[in-house]
Structures are given as C-alpha cells and as structure tokens.
Amino acid sequence: MAHDTSAPAGRHEMSHEERKVLAGTLVGTTIEWYDFFIYAQAAAFVLAPLYFSPLSEDNAGLAQVVAWASLGISFLFRPLGAVVAGHLGDKYGRKIVLVLTLVGMGAATMLIGLLPTYAAIGVWAPIFLVLLRIMQGFSAGGEWGGAALMAVEHAPRHKRGLFGAYPQIGVPLGMLLATTFMFALTSAMSPEDFAAWGWRIPFLSSVVLIVVGYLIRKTVDESPVFKEMQLRKKESSAPLGQLFKHNSKQVTLAALIFAANNAAGYLVIAFFASYGANVLGMPRSQTLVASLIGGVGWLVFTMFGGWISDKIGRVRTFQIGYAIIILWAVPMWFLLDTASLPLFALAIVILTVGLGPSYGPQSALYAEMFPARVRYSGVSIGYAFGSIIGGAFAPMIAQLLLNQTGMSWTIGVYIAGIATVSLIAVSLVPKNIQGIDLNVQEVHEDYVAEHPEAAEILAAAKAAEAAEAAEKKRG
C-alpha cells in the first residue's frame, strides 16, 4: 500500500522509510549546495585574478564584478534544468532525476578543481569555467524540486512543513561545510599557497561526498504520490504544456515568493565575506567565522520556520520572515561596517532570523500550490526563475551599488525592495491550500474497479481524511 500521507494530527512516530527519505533529501541537497558555496567563496577570494587576470590587472573592482557574474550566469540555465528535470520527474519519477542531478553537479565541481588558469591556457580558462558553471546550474535546476517533493510527499499531512524543512537545511549545512573547509585551508596555508593550489582542494574533495550521496539516494523509495500516479495512469504526457496552460499564475507567484530569500541568502553565502575582507580590511579568517556563525543561525531558524508553519500556517510564517528582512535590510550595514567580528556576525545572524521563516516552509508551500501531475515541473521552474530574479546576480548588483555610490546601505535598500515584492506575492497565495490532499485528484472508476490495489489506496486515503476530520472536531 502507498505510504499514508494523510495521517490524522497527533503523535507521529517516524518510520524507517521516512527517516531514509529525509536523510536522502538532506544529504543530497547539502552536497549540491556545498558545491555551489565553494565556488561562491572561491569567487570572493581568488577567481578574479586567476581566471580574469588581464581585467584584474587593469581594474580589480570590475574584475570582481565579472567573477560574481560567473557565479550568477549558472542561474540563467536553472530554468532549462528545471524544465528537463520537471518533465522527467513528472513522467518517470522523482528518484531517478535526483540521482542524475547529483552526479551532474558533482562532475562539474570536480572539473573546476582541475581547470587550468588564464596564465596556462589563456582565454580558454574563463570560457571553460563558465561552461562548467552552466553545467552546475543545469543540474541544480532540477535538484531542489525533486528533493522537496520526496520529503513533502512522504510526510504526514500535519507535518509537511517540518519534513519539507529537511531539504531546505541542506543549504545552510552545505554553506557550513564549505565555509569550514575554506576556513581550515586559509588558516593552514599562506595566501600565496591558497591562491596557487589550495583553493582546488574543496572542489576535488567533493567527489567523496558525491559517492556517499549517490549511494544513499539509490536506496530511497520512489515518492508515494508518483507511485499512485503510475497506478492510476495519470502521469502527464506533456507536463510542461499542462503546467503553463493551467498553472502559470502559481509559477509566477512561486518565483516571486522565493526571489527575496534567494537574494538575501546569497549575500550571506558570498558577498559578506568578500565585503568584509576586501572593503573593510578584516582578516579572511574572521569573515569566514562570521559566515559560519550565520550559517548556524540560518539552519536553526529554517528548521523552526518549517515546524512553526505547521502550527500557524505557511503564508503567515513567510510574512513574518519577510517583514524581518525588510526591517533589517538597511540597519544591518551599520553593524557590518564596524568591521568588528562580534557585530559583523550579529548582523548576519539577525538577517537569518528572517531568512529561516521565509525558507523553511517553502517545500511544503510549493507542493501544496501545484497538482500532482505537474508538481515537479511547477516547483522546479518556480524555484529556478526565483533564483534568477533574486540570487543570480545579487552579489554582482551589490558590488555595482557599492562601486557607484560608495554607500553600503544602498544594498540594503535593494534587498528591502525585493523583499517587499516577495511579501506581496506570498500574501496572494490562498491560505486554505495548507493541508490539501497532495495525491492525484482524478479518480477513474473503471480503472479502480479493475485494480484492487487502487481501491485499497483510495479507501485508505478516505479513511485517513475521515479520521482527521473527526480529530479536528474533537479538538
């Protein structure tokens, strides 16, 4: 029988299969984002002189902008990855796509670690670097949607927010892993050795993590919702066409909802470390310590955001998170600009108080916004376009604002503006979608009559819904 995702509220003992699913989604997204974050931190410290050296010699500030652009360009290919992965995930299953995206991301990361610099192969160095970033972006475009759906579609109805937070905390965990590695390397070697060869070690080491993630994901069962789609023969032959024909509004809202969190998140991930070291003159080790502290805060508040959304609602949780970001976006720069490690770290931690509630419930909210037949496509494409609008070029825009105005608080105005748009977007999502049935809505009576397994699944789902309704009445 399919896993019961509609269990009544109350005490829920997590099954072995649920633990395995959550471990698979958490480990996979952690590895994916570790790969992204080591590139972001390499872009902050060494990539400009190594791969864009002629420009770096003439204009170091502009070279850093170009390095940030190389980080952002991969986001432009996330929608293509989301389209392909979404189509395959809605048609052939979530599991196989998650394995493929993990392998693709890992291969690109390892090759970046082997890539010769501009001094060795000239203009081919930045060209190959950008091509590998495109490969990373294509793979990442399909990763998150599959991981989010595997977690949420296995979840009891009243714990979707909590279960959905597990793939979300892969982001701060990946950041912590990458930052810890970078901190250890920069502390153990001279800046010259780090720039010459030390920065390559985290990229090459990712192959170990990829193998571990691959082995874990291979053991995870397919999503129960997709199993039911197969049972009812309801996988869409053209999920992308169906998505934009019937659910274009949801895709637009999903993109706008994520934009501000992604923009602010990439400041934490990449820009703050560069700003502290290159503009404020702080030691690199201190900016990395501040990022580590911020990563811990982000992890804690993301889990809290997922959990509390099951209690007070997804939309309200998002609204609280974005209100905090709007209010803190400008004042935080006055703490950052002190160049004091405690105050620098405090500014980042307070920002994560807003990032957590606007990120933890995202998996559950997105899953509830789209019907089963196009859900993988919908959540992946909405997420990918949100990344382009928000985080793709946020560090580059921040650098440009700083270069043009010389006033760091203008970056806060930019973040507050995007957060206002995201706040409005999430407020347009109907609150009554929380807790809806995630299974296939269309019932084919003839098919059910001929297949006892289908009848058993439907009967169990109806019984669970009735039990939940009775539980609510008693409460």
| DSSP one-letter string for 348-364 | HHHHHHHHTTTTTTHHH
161 closest CA partner among 369, 304, 29: 304
Residue 190 vs residue 463, higher pLDDT: 190
Asked if the model's pLDDT at residue 107 lies above 50, the reply is yes
pLDDT-derived band at 443 (thresholds 50, 70, 90) equals: very low
pLDDT at 321: 98
Most confident range, picked from 118-132, 275-289, 361-375, 405-419:
405-419
Asked if the model's pLDDT at residue 428 lies above 60, the reply is yes
Residue 46 vs residue 286, higher pLDDT: 286
Q: Interior CA angle at 438 toward 244 and 442, to 5°?
A: 70
Cα–Cα distance between 82 and 387 in angstroms, integer?
12
Asked if the model's pLDDT at residue 457 lies above 80, the reply is no
Evaluate whether the domain defined by 16-222+230-435 bears CATH number 3.40.50.300. no
pLDDT at 5: 46
pLDDT at 1: 36
In total, the chain counts a number of residues equal to 475
The rounded mean pLDDT for the chain is: 82
Asked if the model's pLDDT at residue 325 lies above 90, the reply is yes
Asked if the model's pLDDT at residue 464 lies above 70, the reply is no
Calculate mean pLDDT across residues 431-455.
Answer: 59
CB atoms within 10 A of CB 331: 13
Calculate mean pLDDT across residues 34-38.
Answer: 82
- Least confident interval from 97-111, 132-146, 216-230: 216-230
pLDDT in tens, 110-146: 999 999 988 899 889 889 988 998 988 888 777 777 7
Calculate mean pLDDT across residues 409-423.
Answer: 96
pLDDT at 318: 98
Asked if the model's pLDDT at residue 229 lies above 60, the reply is no
pLDDT at 222: 56
pLDDT at 4: 46
pLDDT at 313: 93
Cα–Cα distance between 123 and 54 in angstroms, integer?
10
Asked if the model's pLDDT at residue 170 lies above 80, the reply is yes
Residue 332 has φ and ψ, to the nearest 5°, of -60, -25
Give the percent of the chain with pLDDT over 70. Answer: 81
pLDDT at 440: 55
- Least confident interval from 21-25, 196-200, 209-213, 263-267: 209-213
Residue 356 vs residue 144, higher pLDDT: 356
Secondary structure of 72-115 in HEC code, one letter for each residue:
HHHHHHHHHHHHHHHHHHHHHCHHHHHHHHHHHHHHHHHHHHHC
How far is the CA of 436 from the CAs of 157, 158, 177, 211, 432, in angstroms? Answer: 8, 10, 36, 36, 8
If you ran DSSP here, which 8-state letter would residue 237 be given? S
If you ran DSSP here, which 8-state letter would residue 171 be given? H
Rg (CA), the chain: 22
pLDDT at 2: 39
Angle separating helix axes 362-369 and 375-389, nearest 10 degrees? 130
Q: Is there a contact between 375 and 59 (Cβ–Cβ < 8 Å)?
A: no
Asked if the model's pLDDT at residue 32 lies above 90, the reply is no
Asked if the model's pLDDT at residue 223 lies above 60, the reply is no
Distant-in-sequence, close-in-space partners of 115: CB < 8 Å, separation ≥ 6: 125, 128, 129, 132
Supply the pTM of this predicted model.
Answer: 0.77
Cα–Cα distance between 287 and 208 in angstroms, integer?
27
pLDDT-derived band at 456 (thresholds 50, 70, 90) equals: low
Calculate mean pLDDT across residues 10-39.
Answer: 77
Cα–Cα distance between 214 and 208 in angstroms, integer?
10
Q: Dihedral angle at the C-alpha atoms of 426, 429, 433, 435, nearest 10 degrees?
A: 0
- Least confident interval from 111-120, 210-219, 251-260, 394-403: 210-219
217 closest CA partner among 28, 18, 14: 28
Calculate mean pLDDT across residues 385-411.
Answer: 88
Asked if the model's pLDDT at residue 348 lies above 70, the reply is yes
Residue 344 vs residue 188, higher pLDDT: 344
Q: Is there a contact between 301 and 356 (Cβ–Cβ < 8 Å)?
A: yes
Calculate mean pLDDT across residues 453-462.
Answer: 61
End-to-end Cα, the chain, rounded Å: 29
Sort 297 into a burial class: Cβ within 10 Å, 0-12 / 13-18 / 19+. buried
Cα–Cα distance between 414 and 260 in angstroms, integer?
10
Q: Residue 298: in which H helix or E strand, if any?
A: helix 284-312
pLDDT at 419: 97
How far is the CA of 343 from the CAs of 43, 278, 351, 440, in angstroms? Answer: 24, 18, 12, 50
Sort 110 into a burial class: Cβ within 10 Å, 0-12 / 13-18 / 19+. middle
